[in-house]
């Protein structure tokens, strides 16, 4: 029996198909069939731009699937469906990864449910330090920077009115400009931090599945805990998850309110004597300071 | 000796380039350097390392290659970051003798890197924001089609026999293999993070691919398409971009942008031979036909470093335009 797909998923596929059909003389290569990576998404009413980043990530993962085989099946909660109702329904199908949640309670609930269903929870909506600390769960991988990382970045730059974000639409280096342009071209708006988090979460899920040669949550989770699990988020440094709290190592960008148009300041800065992990571990909770003990 | 070389470099810097391109038929090999922010090409006499001319092109100049017969130099032009003017997106052909643009090719959106077939008849162009490689007939200027490759395609290189074209794609970490006879993608290879450039050994049996964010160089078997080895550059922190293999196939030269260095590897054992400090942010790299000199385009120094392969030292720095990106050698 064919699997039902959501309206959003159907529309997404239709858009991709239409764009392909509308492009003359473009030839796709056929590759052997492989089981698709299944991802469940509970969209955020509070941060709708996150869904756009997820959409771009899914589109690009499907493009990559034409190269390497497999695919990405995305199941999306209905717009009027509460997280409490949608989460158990979506997780009953045991997707490899689930995304959603805006509050600490929601994110913790999703992480707990994902763990119980042998799925992974990719946190793209909660910067709460407790989820990386006392409430940490092994099935949870925190894609966006923690509140501690953002606070520290602002304090290090010591500028009045400064804010720190995971991404900035003014970034240029290491392909940031092409990512910003791809997003702008598709959605007619700049790519902000929520969109980047959604995009990179899907990219990490897809690439981890591809490199681990697995489409189930536990295998992908085990791969993410290896030293070879590194990802390019167009930030110029290899991104990886900290073993002690599953926070994604990454630089963040500080902008000053009074310096409109100025290039954002990257924190932490690179030091010649440090490798990328050591350098990025200067931001946020260090291993020695972590109080995370995986909750079961 | 090095002191003399530096004096020569300063002498070269003091010699102004002609204000306007003039008809000139060089006898010695020439270096053609694309200047990304300068929107121009710098022409250098490879015998004296003296700047002969600067050719304005009016757009962001990146990919640059000579035709096999040495009569033309092709340059990929596109928009500066944040701009979108389709009229600027093209490849131009510059006549080597007159230094005038003699042809404009529309090759799809955002051309950055490309390769010229060994017979000089076809260009394969990476369309960075389109996820395609466009094939172009040089004689007619006609687009022969476009092939879907990875996301954010970048480096393009032909096998020495002209049968295969390899295209790196930065976002999808892929290396697409195109059959240049059948115009068809036949394989895709997963490589390290953010692959930038690829170079064949002269016998066509192996390909070396740089990965900028992975900080590595991968060696790939051209027959099996297996990754034979992934070699760390500066403990995976090196940000490698350009790569060339020496004409005798014994050495691989990698421009490591962040490390401000040119790395030399044994092409067979993958052992590091030397790390040579060059200018800041070397991106493009080229090697002379006799293998005696390697040239790096030092993006933030506005120079080309000339490296002697006999002693692995910089023997001269040549001034260029703003943000030199790529280097083509016209024999």
Quick one: pLDDT band at residue A18, thresholds 50, 70, 90?
very low
Quick one: pLDDT band at residue B5, thresholds 50, 70, 90?
very low
Quick one: pLDDT band at residue B182, thresholds 50, 70, 90?
very high
Quick one: pLDDT band at residue A15, thresholds 50, 70, 90?
very low
CATH of the domain at B317: 2.130.10.10
Q: Would you state the pLDDT for residue B10?
A: 34
Q: Counting beta carbons within 10 angstroms of the beta carbon of residue A34, is it exposed (0 to 12), middle (13 to 18) or buried (19 or more)?
A: middle
Q: What is the pTM of this model?
A: 0.88
DSSP annotation string for B264-306: EEETTT--EEEEEE-SSSEEEEEE-TTSSEEEEEETTTTEEEE
Look at residue A29 and tell me whether its pLDDT is greater than 50.
no
Q: Would you state the pLDDT for residue B94?
A: 98
pLDDT mean over A141-169: 93
Q: Tell me if B171 and A211 make a contact (CB, 8 A cut-off).
A: no
Look at residue A16 and tell me whether its pLDDT is greater than 80.
no
Tokens found for residue A281? 């571990």
Nearest by CB to residue B152, choosing from A31, A175, A275, is A175
Nearest C-alpha of chain B: how many angstroms from A217?
Answer: 21
Q: Would you state the pLDDT for residue A101?
A: 96
DSSP annotation string for A33-84: --PPEEEEE---SS-THHHHHHHHHHHHHHHHHHHHS--EEEEE--TT--HH
Reported as a single tens digit per residue, the pLDDT across A48-65 is 999 999 999 999 999 999
Q: Which of residues 163-222 of B touch A (CB under 8 A)?
A: 170-174, 176, 183-186, 188, 190, 193-194, 212-215
Q: Would you state the pLDDT for residue A30?
A: 45
Q: Which residues of A touch B213 (CB under 8 A)?
A: 174, 232, 236-238
pLDDT mean over A81-107: 96
Evaluated on CA atoms B188, B193, B195, B199, the torsion sign reads negative
Q: Would you state the pLDDT for residue B109?
A: 77
Q: Would you state the pLDDT for residue B27?
A: 65
Answer with the residue of higher pLDDT: A172 or B243: B243
**Which of B60, B149, B173, B176 should be substituted to probe chain A, the one whose Cβ sees the most A Cβ atoms within 10 Å?**
B173
**Which of A67, A182, A203, A249 should be substituted to probe chain B, the one whose Cβ sees the most B Cβ atoms within 10 Å?**
A67
Nearest by CB to residue B214, choosing from A23, A238, A275, is A238
Give the residue among B280, B306, B208, B305 at the shortest CA–CA distance from B251.
B208
Nearest C-alpha of chain A: how many angstroms from B180?
Answer: 14
Q: Which residues of B touch A31 (CB under 8 A)?
A: 188
Q: Tell me if A27 and B174 make a contact (CB, 8 A cut-off).
A: no
Q: Would you state the pLDDT for residue A259?
A: 60
Taking the mean position of all CA atoms in its chain, how far away is CA A275?
Answer: 23
Q: Would you state the pLDDT for residue B23?
A: 56
User: How many Å apart are CA A157 and CA A162, to the nearest integer?
Assistant: 8
User: What's the first-to-final CA gap in chain A, in angstroms?
Assistant: 35
Give me the domain span that covers residue B270: 2-330
Beta bridge partners of B230: B218
A-B Cβ pairs (cutoff 8 Å, strict): 95
Nearest C-alpha of chain A: how many angstroms from B236?
Answer: 8
- ipTM (interface pTM): 0.86
Answer with the residue of higher pLDDT: B314 or B28: B314
Q: Tell me if A27 and B188 make a contact (CB, 8 A cut-off).
A: no
Protein fold of A11-289: Rossmann fold (3.40.50)
Look at residue B21 and tell me whether its pLDDT is greater than 70.
no
Quick one: pLDDT band at residue A34, thresholds 50, 70, 90?
confident
Alpha helices in chain A (DSSP H): 7-22, 49-68, 83-91, 104-116, 147-157, 176-187, 193-212, 217-224, 276-280
Whether B108 contacts chain A with CB within 8 A: no
Reported as a single tens digit per residue, the pLDDT across A195-250 is 999 999 999 999 999 999 999 999 999 999 999 999 999 999 999 999 999 999 99
Q: What are the φ/ψ torsions at residue B43 (nearest 5 degrees)? A: -110, 130
pLDDT mean over B203-228: 97
Reported as a single tens digit per residue, the pLDDT across A117-126 is 999 999 999 9
pLDDT mean over A272-287: 89
Q: Would you state the pLDDT for residue A135?
A: 96
Give the residue among B56, B49, B53 at the shortest CA–CA distance from B28.
B49
pLDDT mean over B132-148: 94
Average pLDDT, chain B: 91
Tokens found for residue B238? 């090196």
Q: Tell me if B174 and A64 make a contact (CB, 8 A cut-off).
A: yes
Domain-wise residue ranges, chain A = 11-289
Answer with the residue of higher pLDDT: B127 or A135: A135
Domain count, chain B: 1
Q: Tell me if A67 and B215 make a contact (CB, 8 A cut-off).
A: no
Q: Would you state the pLDDT for residue B25?
A: 52
Q: Would you state the pLDDT for residue A10?
A: 39
**C-beta of residue B79 within 8 angstroms of C-beta of residue B59:** yes
């Amino acid at each position: 029996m064919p699997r039902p797909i959501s309206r959003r998923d159907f529309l997404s596929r239709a858009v991709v198909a239409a764009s392909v059909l509308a492009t003359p003389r473009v030839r796709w290569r056929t590759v052997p069939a492989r089981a698709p990576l299944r991802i469940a998404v509970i969209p955020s009413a509070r941060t709708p731009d996150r869904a756009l980043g997820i959409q771009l990530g899914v589109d690009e993962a499907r493009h990559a699937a034409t190269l390497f085989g497999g695919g990405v099946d995305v199941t999306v909660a209905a717009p009027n469906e509460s997280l409490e109702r949608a989460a158990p329904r979506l997780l009953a199908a045991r997707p490899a990864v689930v995304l959603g949640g805006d509050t600490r309670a929601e994110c913790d609930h999703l992480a707990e449910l994902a763990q119980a269903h042998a799925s992974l929870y990719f946190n793209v909506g909660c910067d709460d330090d407790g989820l990386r600390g006392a409430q940490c769960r092994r099935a949870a991988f925190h894609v966006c920077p923690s509140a501690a990382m953002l606070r520290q970045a602002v304090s290090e730059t010591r500028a009045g009115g400064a804010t720190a974000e995971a991404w900035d639409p003014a970034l240029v280096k290491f392909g940031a400009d092409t990512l910003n342009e791809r997003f702008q071209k598709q959605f007619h708006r700049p790519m902000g931090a929520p969109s980047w988090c959604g995009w990179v979460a899907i990219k990490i899920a897809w690439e981890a599945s591809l490199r681990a040669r697995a489409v189930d949550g536990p295998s992908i989770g085990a791969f993410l805990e290896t030293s070879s699990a590194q990802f390019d988020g167009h930030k110029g440094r290899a991104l990886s998850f900290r073993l002690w709290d599953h926070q994604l190592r990454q630089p963040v960008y500080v902008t000053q309110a009074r310096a409109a148009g100025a290039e954002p300041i990257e924190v932490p800065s690179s030091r010649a004597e440090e490798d990328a992990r050591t350098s990025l571990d200067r931001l946020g909770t260090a291993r020695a300071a972590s109080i995370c003990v995986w909750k079961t | 000796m090095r002191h003399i070389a530096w004096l020569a470099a300063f002498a070269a810097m003091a010699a102004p380039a002609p204000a306007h391109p003039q008809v000139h038929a060089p006898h010695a090999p020439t270096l053609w350097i694309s200047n990304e922010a300068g929107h121009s090409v710098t022409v250098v006499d490879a015998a004296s390392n003296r700047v002969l001319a600067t050719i304005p092109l009016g757009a962001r100049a990146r990919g640059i290659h000579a035709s096999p017969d040495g009569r033309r130099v092709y340059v990929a032009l596109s928009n500066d970051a944040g701009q979108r003017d389709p009229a600027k997106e093209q490849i131009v052909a510059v006549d080597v003798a007159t230094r005038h643009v003699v042809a404009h090719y529309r090759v799809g959106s955002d051309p950055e890197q490309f390769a010229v077939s060994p017979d000089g008849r076809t260009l394969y162009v990476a369309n960075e924001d389109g996820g395609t490689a466009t094939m172009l007939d040089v004689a007619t200027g006609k687009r022969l089609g476009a092939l879907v490759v990875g996301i954010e395609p970048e480096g393009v290189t032909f096998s020495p026999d002209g049968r295969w074209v390899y295209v790196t794609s930065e976002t999808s970490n892929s290396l697409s293999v195109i059959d240049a006879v059948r115009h068809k993608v036949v394989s895709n290879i997963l490589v390290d993070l953010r692959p930038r450039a690829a170079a064949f050994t002269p016998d066509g049996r192996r390909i070396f691919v740089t990965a900028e964010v992975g900080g590595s160089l991968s060696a790939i078997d051209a027959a099996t398409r297996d990754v034979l080895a992934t070699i760390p550059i500066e403990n995976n922190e090196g940000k490698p971009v350009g790569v060339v293999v020496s004409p005798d196939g014994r050495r691989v030269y990698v421009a490591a942008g962040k490390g401000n260095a040119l790395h030399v590897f044994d092409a067979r054992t993958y052992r590091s031979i030397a790390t040579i400090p060059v200018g800041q942010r070397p991106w493009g790299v080229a090697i002379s036909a006799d293998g005696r000199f390697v040239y790096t385009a030092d993006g933030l120094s506005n120079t080309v470093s000339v490296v002697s392969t006999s002693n692995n030292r910089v023997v001269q720095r040549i001034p260029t335009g703003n943000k030199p990106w790529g280097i083509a050698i016209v024999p």
